Amino acid sequence: MVPTPEQAAAGQAVYTPRMLRLYDILVLGLSNRLIWKCPTAKLLQLYNDSVSDNHLDVGVGTGYYLDRCRFPTDQPQIALLDMNPNCLYATANRISRYEPTCHEANIFEPLTFEEARFKSIALNYVLHCLPGAMQHKLVAVRHLAELLTPGGLLFGSTLLSGGVQRGWPARCLMSFYNRKQIFSNTEDDLATLERGLAESFDTYDVEVVGCAALFRGHRAS
Ligand X SMILES: C[S@@+](CC[C@H](N)C(=O)[O-])C[C@H]1O[C@@H](n2cnc3c(N)ncnc32)[C@H](O)[C@@H]1O
Residue 92 or 150: the one with the smaller Cβ distance to ligand X is 92
Residue 13 or 198: the one with the smaller Cβ distance to ligand X is 13
Separation of alpha carbons 102 and 168, rounded Å: 39
CB 86 to ligand X: min, Å = 8
| List of E strands, 163-202 | none
Which strands form 101-104's sheet, in the order they lie side by side?
Answer: 101-104, 77-82, 54-58, 118-124, 148-159, 212-218, 203-209
Looking at residue 27, what DSSP letter applies? I
Nearest to 167 by CA among 16, 25, 36, 76: 36
CB 64 to ligand X: min, Å = 6
CB 119 to ligand X: min, Å = 18
CB 128 to ligand X: min, Å = 8
Residue 15 or 204: the one with the smaller Cβ distance to ligand X is 15
Residue 132 or 152: the one with the smaller Cβ distance to ligand X is 132
* Closest residue to ligand X using C-beta atoms: 61
Q: Which residues contact ligand X (rule: CB under 6 A)? A: 8, 11-12, 15, 59-61, 64, 82-84, 87, 106-108, 124-126, 129-130
Separation of alpha carbons 174 and 171, rounded Å: 5
CB 152 to ligand X: min, Å = 19
Contacts of 217 (CB under 8 A, 6+ apart): 141, 145, 153, 154, 155, 197, 200, 201, 203, 204
Residue 60 or 214: the one with the smaller Cβ distance to ligand X is 60
CB 220 to ligand X: min, Å = 26
| List of E strands, the chain | 54-58, 77-82, 101-104, 118-124, 148-159, 203-209, 212-218
Looking at residue 52, what DSSP letter applies? -
Residue 101 or 203: the one with the smaller Cβ distance to ligand X is 101
